[in-house]
Amino acid sequence: MLELTALTKSYPGFEFGPVDLSVERGVLSVLGPSGSGKSTLLSLVAGIVSPDGGEVTLDGRSLVGRPLEARRVGVVFQEGALFPHMTARENVEYAATGRDRVDELAGMLEIEGVLDRRPAALSGGERQRVALARTLAADPDTLLLDEPLSSLDTPIRRRLRDQLHDLFASLDIPVVYVTHDQRAATVLGDRLAVLHAGQVEQVDTPDAVLNRPESAFVARFTGSENVFEAGVVEARGDGAVLRVGDVTLQTTARVAVGTTVTACVRPARVRLVTRDAAPTVPTLTGRVRRTLNEGDEYRMTVACGDWEVTAQVRPEAVDRRDVRPGTTVRLAVPADAVHVIATR
Amino acid sequence: MLELTALTKSYPGFEFGPVDLSVERGVLSVLGPSGSGKSTLLSLVAGIVSPDGGEVTLDGRSLVGRPLEARRVGVVFQEGALFPHMTARENVEYAATGRDRVDELAGMLEIEGVLDRRPAALSGGERQRVALARTLAADPDTLLLDEPLSSLDTPIRRRLRDQLHDLFASLDIPVVYVTHDQRAATVLGDRLAVLHAGQVEQVDTPDAVLNRPESAFVARFTGSENVFEAGVVEARGDGAVLRVGDVTLQTTARVAVGTTVTACVRPARVRLVTRDAAPTVPTLTGRVRRTLNEGDEYRMTVACGDWEVTAQVRPEAVDRRDVRPGTTVRLAVPADAVHVIATR
Amino acid sequence: ERLDWLSVAFLLGAVLLCYYLVPLVSLVVAQPPGAVLDRLTTPDVTAAVRTSVLTAAVSTALATVFGLPLAYWLARTEGRRSALVTALVVLPLVLPPIVSGMVLLTVVGPNTLLGSAATAVGVPLTRSVVGVVLAQTFVASPFVVVTAKAAVESVDRSLEYASRSLGKSRWTTFRRVTLPIAWPGILAGVTLGFARAIGEFGATIMLAYYPRTMPVQIWVSFTTRGLDEAFPIAVVLLGVAVATLVVIN
Amino acid sequence: ERLDWLSVAFLLGAVLLCYYLVPLVSLVVAQPPGAVLDRLTTPDVTAAVRTSVLTAAVSTALATVFGLPLAYWLARTEGRRSALVTALVVLPLVLPPIVSGMVLLTVVGPNTLLGSAATAVGVPLTRSVVGVVLAQTFVASPFVVVTAKAAVESVDRSLEYASRSLGKSRWTTFRRVTLPIAWPGILAGVTLGFARAIGEFGATIMLAYYPRTMPVQIWVSFTTRGLDEAFPIAVVLLGVAVATLVVIN
């Protein structure tokens, strides 16, 4: 188990922490924008920088004050940090205990064919897999990864992401996966910590973080683009009725009448009601402001009165006439999709 | 109109072209992986490098041989290329004809509040908007953009993408938008050119390129992850029946019986048939190998015999029990989703 | 064991630093400041200071005017030709100054075509201020070129492309974009060039034993009247060196 | 107008290049190769070559052994302390060599505590091979330190972190990662240091007029027997300079 307790570090113009986190077996994704302290977190655990305060323990032993080489913390650096003067094989052998281990790892990470190349002759994906093999060859007690997918092209990124997913499942050490990409964080993490301005804003399962964000920042950064202020106009047994401008929304959240709340809705949960559907569910009416064709889905911005809502809809689920800017459309927002972040 | 005719340039180890492309009013997205020649294309049009052969014309006048400053080609460089010793305002004024134009552009691109800052004090998104304002201030006859969104965090990227979409619609000059990101290319381009190894593999509307790719490379790079070889076992009036391993698929493509074809299916078009649904459509049966939770959707890899197919499904559309690895599930692949890339 | 290695390394570095520091301190404390100041005003010393400052200023100006365009060209050109030219610029840098003086003598010496012609029209190229400038420029200008080249190279080329694609000429781009950004590096190069010029000894003594520059005067004082006489000039030159460090940092 | 500016710039650069090139060519062609070769074997010349090669080799070795740890420390440390130490290392670099010779004399000269003590035990620190080495080391070692520092700085620190996080000590990391990658730069620094040491004149002439190194021998030949006698040594030193350029590129 990797445990961070009240960890702090201050830089000119940036305060990191206090941060408390723990990872047992399994993967913790750390998600945050650039400048949120992701690299600092990694550097503190790896031993590249010393904390101003707090504690890092790995399987019970304290890491603070120990040099990098005595920590048994494996790190996969952003661009791989492969030794340029060694072949891929020599890189892995540098860390490995035996030649068998090199071949085993090369097989597992599918790099047998490129072992005799220098890093400069490897593709981005190959580089990252060699870096991963090298790190695992040292048999670390925990594994930290710094955005290993960020510089890769989409198909290769997706493939390596799949491989990482399967690899992580086969490891029984704590893994910390640092990224600014919500998809990668969600896919690879058993748990997800969202970092903002040096602080952990929320730690939970990916589903919980995405669907029940605890701050407006977490909501926006994890894809709940529709964040809004609303007044509670009615309380019901199964939730409440919210009013945003002149639009009424239902929520399953239990909030007191008369309070103002900050709420959010993921665009994927907003449905476009087809022209000929019977009005069985409560719907909003609005005008399409902008429609972006993302390929497998349309991202539509619809003005419902003075509330602007973004919906992400599947092309096959909608009437093509409804996606044109200027068209008046009906939207349905399920009550359980309206998450209340905070009341005041 | 911007027109590239038989444009070629060779480097040691890389041949660009011959490339033919034309952009009237509207946006041409150029999509390709790193090393495909995107930068070369931009450099050739901007005048940073000279072609070995071929022609570039803008509104009828030839650009080849002219220096950069005489081309009236506006370029937004990848990281903005703002002059670090000038404030944002000075950067825009450097190019502008009058002070009014600076204020107008600042208003349009929402950078009024940061005009007195140096580039180092701007966020990534602000930098790109200032760079865009500066480029537009010179009143160019065409606009080239080099991956302006690539280094931004997701929420800011999405917002700038929306702004670019609206801005491009208001310009009446040819725009070339170079990117490795399929979503940005699809959203922003009226047409989409896919570049691979220095060659244009396909140019068409984004919908056509995504749904009817003309090569396996285009298919994979634009998200048709399921690319496979199949035998044509039956021809029908409305298409044909394909066999992949021991799986049978219908397609609307008219292909001759006995031939072997390369075909593809977008994961988003593969449906997971719910447990209690009546078997009205032809379905495949397979075992779930891997399920990745991407937040708003599951990406499932299902082994149907020896054919491995990836499906992208919405959480609300499936039974949660069906997404567990090891489960046997039924998949439906619509005939019009099976696109035949090539016959042989 | 690791500690031992670190200690030894630390010790070695410290010894070298002491080897730099002790003599410098010693120079300053070896003589009472009053005595040094008194000697600063003797005619020999003031003449040498005047000659050195004048010639070094002229040499640095020449090095800058002729060297900046070359530095820009080298920074913005790739390939064999540029590598060869760079090598030619670095050669005077690695050539012993006394050899530099010799090679200059083979061209501008009193018995050469150029030297005798110049003497005939009243501008002797040796044993004259012109000779000092010729020696200093040869030795100091490569510093200006090499440092300015590095400064220009550090300016991202895409900034220049951006400027030109906005319709600005190469000249405007250089003046308003490249030069302001490269300026601190260019200034460092010019300062280094001045320091090198004012301290030049080997080439100068070959070309122009007279009029005496500060380094030559130190040598003359040392050989004719002993070390004491040389102190004031040495302190002045040490001051110039320290000032140079301040400017380039 | 743009063309004019470019032409003027081109011309200025070309003039400077000619100013480097012409004297160098002139040195080589000024004397028939046979005459130069003949004089290469005179006792004065061979003695000077022997002294110079020996002392420069020792100085360079000292500069490397003492300078490398310092270079590594400077490259991997930030902050005020490191900036100050860097300034101290650069100071001998911008100090005129003749002044360097003077400051060394104030510490190791015959009348100083250290100098007289050393002479008493039979190791005179001036007018001796040791004196030459002391002068050359003071002047040449900063080149080694500054160049090696830049070479180490160019090695991405994350490579060192990666190595150490794989369980390797600092020493192993230095030996197997940093050193091999920085090697070309360090070699360039050592080569530059050797070139600087073998060409050293100003400091050497102050500390050790005798035994004569090649630069001092050029000076002696020039003043006593005219320029011709100095040619063979100058050609040798030019050869060393060219060889240096070849190694560092």
Express each pLDDT in A37-79 by its tens digit.
999 999 999 999 999 999 999 999 999 999 999 999 999 999 9
Angle between helices C80-94 and D179-198 (to 10 degrees): 50
Asked if A11 is an interface residue toward chain D (Cβ–Cβ < 8 A), one would say: no
For the segment C219-232, the average pLDDT, to the nearest whole number, is 86
Kindly identify which residue of chain C lies nearest to residue B83, measuring between CA atoms.
C159
Q: Share the mean pLDDT of chain D.
A: 91
Q: Report whether pLDDT(B271) > 60.
A: yes
Amino acid at C208: A
CB contact (8 A) between residue B69 and residue C168: yes
In angstroms, the CA A88 to CA C141 distance is: 46
For the segment B294-323, the average pLDDT, to the nearest whole number, is 89
Question: Domain extents for chain B?
Answer: 2-221, 226-341
Q: What angle do CA D71, D74, D79 make, to 5 degrees?
A: 175
Q: Report whether pLDDT(B248) > 60.
A: yes
Rg (CA), chain B: 24
The structure tokens listed for D51 are 């002294």
Q: Report whether pLDDT(D3) > 70.
A: no
- Sign of dihedral through CA atoms B22, B28, B32, B34? positive
Asked if A166 is an interface residue toward chain D (Cβ–Cβ < 8 A), one would say: no
Check residue D1 and give its pLDDT: 47
The CATH classification number of B226-341 equals 2.40.50.100
Strand partners, A285: A330
Q: Share the mean pLDDT of chain C.
A: 91
Q: Confirm if B22 and B68 have CB atoms less than 8 A apart.
A: no
For the segment A169-173, the average pLDDT, to the nearest whole number, is 93
In angstroms, the CA B128 to CA B131 distance is: 5
In angstroms, the CA A318 to CA A271 distance is: 9
CB neighbours of residue D37 within 10 Å: 11
Indicate the pLDDT class of residue B4, thresholds 50, 70 and 90: very high
Amino acid at A18: P
Measured between beta carbons, the chain A residues lying within 8 angstroms of B187 are 292-294, 299
Residue A192's nearest CA partner among A218, A172, A229 is A218
Q: Report whether pLDDT(B140) > 60.
A: yes
D9 min Cα distance to partner chain C (Å): 5
Check residue A151 and give its pLDDT: 83
Q: Confirm if A267 and A222 have CB atoms less than 8 A apart.
A: no
CB neighbours of residue B165 within 10 Å: 17
Buried b (16+ CB within 10 A) or exposed e, C186-222: bebbbbbbbbbbbbbbbbbbbbbbebbbbbbbbbbbb
In angstroms, the CA B268 to CA A337 distance is: 22
As for the ipTM of the complex, it is: 0.91
The structure tokens listed for A168 are 């992580």
Indicate the pLDDT class of residue C1, thresholds 50, 70 and 90: very low
Give one DSSP letter per residue of A33-69, joined into a string. Answer: -TTSSHHHHHHHHHTSS--SEEEEEETTEE-TT--GG
In angstroms, the CA C209 to CA D219 distance is: 12
Cα dist from B199 to B36, B41, B50, B173, whole Å: 8, 10, 18, 25
- For chain B, the 3-state helix, strand and coil shares in percent, each to the nearest 5, are 30, 35, 35
The tens digit of pLDDT for each residue in A183-233 reads 999 999 999 999 999 999 999 999 999 999 999 999 999 999 999 999 999
CB neighbours of residue B320 within 10 Å: 8
Mean pLDDT comparison of A303-307, A322-326, B225-229, B233-237, highest-scoring range = B225-229
For the segment A277-281, the average pLDDT, to the nearest whole number, is 69
CB contact (8 A) between residue D166 and residue A72: no
Query: Residue B68 is nearest to which of C156, C165, C177, comparing CB atoms?
Result: C165
The tens digit of pLDDT for each residue in D206-246 reads 999 989 999 999 999 989 887 777 888 999 999 999 999 99
Check residue A105 and give its pLDDT: 94
Check residue D2 and give its pLDDT: 53
CATH topology classification for A2-221: Rossmann fold (3.40.50)
Same fold, A2-221 and A226-341: no
The tens digit of pLDDT for each residue in C66-118 reads 999 999 999 998 888 899 999 999 999 999 999 999 999 999 998 888 999 99
- Using CB atoms, list chains with 3+ pairs below 8 Å to chain B: A, C
**What is the DSSP secondary structure assignment for residue C175, as one 8-state letter?**
I
Query: Which carries the bigger pLDDT value, residue B225 or residue B279?
Result: B225
The tens digit of pLDDT for each residue in C165-204 reads 999 999 999 999 999 999 999 999 999 999 999 999 999 9
Q: Confirm if A295 and B206 have CB atoms less than 8 A apart.
A: yes
CB contact (8 A) between residue C9 and residue D73: yes
In angstroms, the CA B10 to CA B8 distance is: 7
Share of chain A above pLDDT 90, in %: 83
A100 min Cα distance to partner chain D (Å): 18
Share of chain C above pLDDT 90, in %: 73
Q: Share the mean pLDDT of chain A.
A: 93
Check residue D27 and give its pLDDT: 85
In angstroms, the CA A29 to CA A17 distance is: 17
Q: Report whether pLDDT(B69) > 90.
A: yes
Q: Does this model's pTM top 0.80? A: yes
For the segment D91-105, the average pLDDT, to the nearest whole number, is 93
For the segment D65-93, the average pLDDT, to the nearest whole number, is 92
The structure tokens listed for B157 are 């990227």
Indicate the pLDDT class of residue A279, thresholds 50, 70 and 90: low
Query: Residue C91 is nearest to which of D26, D87, D245, comparing CB atoms?
Result: D245
Check residue C2 and give its pLDDT: 53
B297 min Cα distance to partner chain A (Å): 9
Q: What angle do CA B40, B42, B45 make, to 5 degrees?
A: 110
